């Protein structure tokens, strides 16, 4: 959301520090792979998030102790719900929900799913329900499926199947809401008035999805992602790639095809993944955003719960060969011709066209214990096999290696804004003969501490902090500070992506903060950091312009690019001070700068301000048309602000 403000007047200050922008130098291209996204299953990013499935624990594997997130609603005696493994749907979905209906004298016997912190009921919306069921009821009457308020008093939509067969059968129906008041905390109820036993599996409810893809993505969240026009999507992790054990790695073949054949797996962030967001869904998600996949392949390193003591590592050599082959097959699934075995499988799964693929990352964060000790050899084993099969693919290393020269090195930074001020210069003097850099995860992660004298410092946020799922203005400014450094050095930092991307906002639902986009079941919002990303992305330009500051003011950071085709210059200035900062801007090498331009400002004045579901637009960028520009002028930048000054060449 870019709001427009009024034209402002300009004062000339001859004593101000000067930002010199040199257009006489050729500069270098802004990396075409700026800016990207990083994603994994964390904070219910997919299940309960982007992946639009609304039923939690649809395959009854979440908790072996009982039917988590399901509830029996019945006043009769002897009615019950239990987990049952005697009626497997198939070899992958082996546990089902058994509903015992013994007493229907008190009314229908119902089983309800609470969804992911509530099922959304939106007005005038068609939901698609689907489930497998079987019954031994002697008289199989209709089974009703309803979307209703959590207390059951209001039914928003309802439908039924006429009877339940004795053998496993898949049933589908549509639930259409009318002009209801939206409810983020509704539930789905299956109800019968016929005694007998009923078994259910893969119980599913989908709202309309992005581009109506079956098994697709949530529309409001997708819109926010698409608006960022990411150049790439790094997936599937992160720690989610590794898993807490080899068996719980992102085992991509088990995430393909028919949902009923996907067993799901235990994720590393404390909850199980349905794998409804499987490899093909990741790829189609990237495709829908116009982004290229950056595919992270499992490299033999998994995280045990005490990850920082070393992890579970498959030794290089014969044991690792199986995972190298898995990676080669995965690459073939993504980008191979349909004449190849895995390319043919992709076509059979519904996507004959190969996906573009230029980057493959070998693992994730192999910087601990045994993983670190063996990465040199493991990387070489993957690198050699991948390059032999796909000479054009770029192989990204997660830590520096000596065995081979990686095409890029993935650096991760989670840092306070104070640290970001240093990190903004990290690549200014980086040895350009070294591998290119992919900053594959980064974010300003901090919490304000005020001492007894009223002096504020910004400290590392404790892991247990659950007050804020998304960043505030000050964190967004820390991000912008860091991004000025990335942009200035985009000859060597060829790709970067903020992480994590998505979060539910309920405190019990997220494991990590901050995150770029927050949501509950019904609504979502952009954080101030989202807007900092958007501002850089929308004012990327094509060429990095040399800039230098004389009389460098404290806590002011800057970069500049130009768009040669449109004759525009984008000057990015971050003012982390509590007071306004006035800077003279001097442009060399331009024939003429138009007197009129614009200033896009992200600030609310209060560094702790943030956006929430209730107040999604507290911190949003505002555009002001400005005049009096030229080859030298002064500009005042607001306290705690990130600014994009647009100059137009004439
Ligand atoms: O982004 C959250 C986690 O941080 C990622 O899973 C991991 O790669 C990093 O340590």
Looking at residue 432, its pLDDT comes to 96
pLDDT band at 8 (very low <50, low <70, confident <90, very high): very low
Whether pLDDT at 70 is above 70: yes
Looking at residue 308, its pLDDT comes to 52
The pLDDT tens digits of the residues spanning 302-328 come to: 987 554 555 689 999 999 999 999 999
Task: Tell me the C-alpha distance between 533 and 429, whole Å.
Answer: 24
In the three-class reduction of DSSP (H, G, I as helix; E, B as strand; rest coil), residue 40 is classed as coil
Whether pLDDT at 227 is above 60: yes
More confident residue, 241 or 139: 241
The closest-lying atom of ligand 1 relative to the alpha carbon of residue 500 is 1
What is the 239 CA–ligand 1 centroid distance (Å)?
6
Q: Is the CB of 237 under 6 A from ligand 1?
A: yes
Hey, which residues does 187 pair with through a beta bridge? 148
pLDDT band at 5 (very low <50, low <70, confident <90, very high): very low
Using CA positions, which residue lies closest to atom 1 of ligand 1?
500
- Torsion angles phi and psi, residue 492, rounded to 5: -110, -35
Looking at residue 607, its pLDDT comes to 96
Average pLDDT over residues 342-369: 97
Looking at residue 137, its pLDDT comes to 87
Q: Is the CB of 365 under 6 A from ligand 1?
A: yes
Q: Does residue 82 have a cis bond before it (omega within 30 degrees)?
A: no
Asked whether the beta carbons of 553 and 574 are under 8 A apart, the reply is no
Superfamily assignment of 2-29+541-648 in CATH?
Answer: Golgi alpha-mannosidase II (2.60.40.1180)
Angle at CA of residue 533, ends 530 and 536, nearest 5°: 150
Task: Tell me the C-alpha distance between 593 and 631, whole Å.
Answer: 6
Whether pLDDT at 140 is above 80: no
Asked whether the beta carbons of 531 and 602 are under 8 A apart, the reply is yes
Asked whether the beta carbons of 458 and 516 are under 8 A apart, the reply is no
Looking at residue 310, its pLDDT comes to 57
Q: Is the CB of 276 under 6 A from ligand 1?
A: no
Looking at residue 15, its pLDDT comes to 80
pLDDT band at 1 (very low <50, low <70, confident <90, very high): very low
Tell me, yes or no, if the pTM score tops 0.75.
Answer: yes
What is the 445 CA–ligand 1 centroid distance (Å)?
13
Average pLDDT over residues 77-99: 98
Nearest to 336 by CA among 355, 359, 358, 314: 355
CB atoms within 10 A of CB 94: 17
The pLDDT tens digits of the residues spanning 55-69 come to: 999 999 999 999 999
CB atoms within 10 A of CB 144: 18
Using CA positions, which residue lies closest to atom 5 of ligand 1?
238
Whether pLDDT at 368 is above 70: yes
CB-based burial of residue 245 (10 Å sphere; 0-12 exposed, 13-18 middle, 19+ buried)?
middle
CB contact set of 153 (below 8 Å; sequence gap of 6+): none
Looking at residue 141, its pLDDT comes to 87
What is the 617 CA–ligand 1 centroid distance (Å)?
28
What is the 236 CA–ligand 1 centroid distance (Å)?
11
The DSSP annotation for 346-388 comes to: HHHTT--SPPP--EEEESS---SHHHHHHHHHHHHHHHHHHHH
The DSSP annotation for 334-346 comes to: HH--TTSHHHHHH
Burial 560-587 (b: 16+ CB within 10 A, else e): bbbbeeeebbbbbbbbbbeeebebbbbb
Looking at residue 306, its pLDDT comes to 53
The closest-lying atom of ligand 1 relative to the alpha carbon of residue 268 is 6
CATH code given to domain 70-208: 2.60.120.260
Looking at residue 74, its pLDDT comes to 94
Q: Strands, E, within 106-252: which ranges?
A: 109-113, 119-121, 126-135, 143-148, 155-161, 169-176, 183-192, 196-206, 232-235
Looking at residue 204, its pLDDT comes to 98
Looking at residue 309, its pLDDT comes to 52
Q: Is the CB of 411 under 6 A from ligand 1?
A: no
Q: Is the CB of 43 under 6 A from ligand 1?
A: no
CB contact set of 67 (below 8 Å; sequence gap of 6+): 57, 60, 81, 82, 83, 97
Asked whether the beta carbons of 444 and 476 are under 8 A apart, the reply is yes
Task: Tell me the C-alpha distance between 103 and 477, whole Å.
Answer: 62
Whether pLDDT at 299 is above 50: yes
Average pLDDT over residues 247-264: 97
Q: Is the CB of 41 under 6 A from ligand 1?
A: no
The pLDDT tens digits of the residues spanning 640-650 come to: 999 999 999 99
Whether pLDDT at 7 is above 50: no
Angle at CA of residue 503, ends 497 and 507, nearest 5°: 140
Beta-strand pair 524-526/543-544: unpaired
Percent over 70 (pLDDT), the chain: 97
Q: Is the CB of 398 under 6 A from ligand 1?
A: no
Looking at residue 512, its pLDDT comes to 96
The closest-lying atom of ligand 1 relative to the alpha carbon of residue 237 is 6
Asked whether the beta carbons of 249 and 242 are under 8 A apart, the reply is yes
Asked whether the beta carbons of 8 and 627 are under 8 A apart, the reply is no
Name the fold adopted by 240-406.
Answer: TIM Barrel (3.20.20)
CB atoms within 10 A of CB 307: 19
Asked whether the beta carbons of 648 and 592 are under 8 A apart, the reply is no
Asked whether the beta carbons of 207 and 12 are under 8 A apart, the reply is no
pLDDT band at 134 (very low <50, low <70, confident <90, very high): very high
Task: Tell me the C-alpha distance between 328 and 338, whole Å.
Answer: 15
The pLDDT tens digits of the residues spanning 22-59 come to: 999 999 999 999 999 999 999 999 999 999 999 999 99
Whether pLDDT at 219 is above 90: yes
The lowest-confidence range among 8-12, 30-34, 168-172 is: 8-12
Question: Average pLDDT, whole number, for the chain?
Answer: 95
Looking at residue 2, its pLDDT comes to 46
Asked whether the beta carbons of 558 and 618 are under 8 A apart, the reply is no
Q: Is the CB of 238 under 6 A from ligand 1?
A: yes
- Torsion angles phi and psi, residue 226, rounded to 5: -60, -40
- Domain segments of the chain: what residues? 2-29+541-648, 70-208, 240-406
Whether pLDDT at 574 is above 70: yes
Nearest to 83 by CA among 74, 70, 92, 73: 70
Looking at residue 138, its pLDDT comes to 81
Beta-strand pair 183-192/143-148: antiparallel
Average pLDDT over residues 354-363: 98
Whether pLDDT at 9 is above 70: no
Asked whether the beta carbons of 440 and 361 are under 8 A apart, the reply is yes
């Amino acid at each position: 959301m870019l709001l427009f403000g009024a034209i402002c007047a300009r004062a000339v200050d001859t004593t101000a520090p000067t930002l010199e922008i040199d257009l006489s130098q050729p500069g270098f291209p802004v990396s075409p792979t700026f800016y990207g996204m990083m994603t994994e299953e964390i904070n219910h990013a997919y299940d309960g998030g982007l992946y639009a499935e609304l039923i939690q624990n649809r395959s009854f594997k979440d908790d072996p102790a009982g039917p988590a997130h399901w509830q029996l609603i019945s006043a009769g005696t002897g009615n019950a719900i239990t987990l049952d493994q005697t009626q497997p749907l198939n070899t992958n979905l082996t546990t089902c929900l058994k509903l015992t209906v013994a007493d229907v004298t008190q009314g229908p016997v119902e089983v309800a799913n609470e969804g992911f912190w509530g099922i959304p009921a939106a007005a005038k919306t068609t939901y698609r329900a689907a489930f497998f069921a079987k019954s031994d009821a002697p008289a199989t009457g209709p089974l009703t499926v309803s979307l209703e308020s959590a207390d059951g008093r209001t039914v928003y939509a309802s439908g039924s199947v006429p009877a339940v067969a004795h053998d496993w059968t898949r049933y589908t129906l549509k639930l259409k809401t009318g002009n209801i008041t939206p409810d983020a905390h509704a539930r789905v109820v299956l109800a019968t008035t016929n005694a007998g036993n009923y078994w259910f599996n893969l119980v599913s409810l989908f709202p309309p999805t992005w581009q109506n893809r079956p098994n697709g993505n949530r529309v409001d969240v997708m819109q926010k992602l698409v608006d960022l026009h990411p150049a790439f999507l790094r997936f599937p992790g992160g720690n989610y790639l590794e898993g807490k054990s080899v068996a719980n790695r992102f085992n991509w073949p088990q995430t393909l095809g028919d949902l009923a054949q996907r067993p799901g797996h235990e994720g590393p962030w404390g909850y199980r993944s349905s794998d409804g967001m499987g490899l093909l869904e990741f790829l189609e998600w990237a495709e829908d955003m116009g982004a290229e996949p950056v595919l992270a392949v499992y490299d033999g390193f998994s995280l045990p719960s005490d990850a920082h003591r070393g992890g579970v590592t498959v030794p290089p050599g014969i044991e690792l060969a199986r995972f190298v082959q898995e990676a080669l097959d995965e690459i073939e699934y993504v980008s191979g011709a349909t004449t190849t075995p895995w390319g043919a499988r992709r076509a059979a799964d519904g996507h004959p066209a190969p996906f573009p693929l230029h980057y493959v990352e070998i693992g994730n964060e192999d910087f601990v214990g045994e993983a670190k000790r063996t990465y040199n050899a493991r990387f070489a084993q993957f690198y050699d096999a991948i390059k032999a099969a796909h000479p054009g693919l770029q192989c990204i290393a997660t830590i520096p290696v000596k065995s081979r020269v990686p095409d890029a090195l993935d650096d991760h930074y989670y840092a306070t804004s104070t640290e970001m001020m240093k990190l903004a210069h990290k690549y200014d003097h980086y040895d350009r003969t070294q591998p290119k850099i992919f900053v594959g995860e980064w974010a300003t992660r901090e919490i304000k501490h005020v001492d007894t004298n009223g002096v504020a410092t910004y400290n590392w946020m404790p892991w247990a902090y659950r007050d804020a799922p998304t960043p505030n203005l000050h964190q967004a400014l820390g991000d912008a500070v860091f991004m000025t450094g990335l942009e200035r050095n985009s000859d060597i930092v060829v790709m970067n992506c903020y992480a994590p991307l998505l979060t539910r906002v309920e405190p019990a639902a997220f494991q990590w903060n901050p995150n770029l986009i927050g949501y509950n079941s019904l609504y979502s919002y952009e954080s101030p950091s989202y807007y900092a990303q958007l501002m850089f992305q929308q004012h990327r330009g094509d060429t990095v312009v040399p800039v230098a500051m004389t009389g460098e003011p404290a806590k002011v950071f800057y970069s500049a690019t130009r768009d040669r085709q449109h004759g525009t210059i984008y000057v990015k200035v971050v003012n982390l001070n509590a007071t306004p900062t006035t800077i003279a801007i001097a442009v060399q090498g331009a024939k003429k700068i138009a007197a009129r331009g614009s200033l896009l400002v992200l600030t609310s004045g209060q560094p702790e301000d943030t956006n929430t579901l209730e107040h999604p637009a507290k911190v949003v960028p505002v555009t002001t048309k400005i005049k009096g520009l030229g080859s030298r002028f002064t500009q005042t930048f607001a306290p705690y602000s990130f600014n994009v000054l647009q100059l137009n060449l004439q």
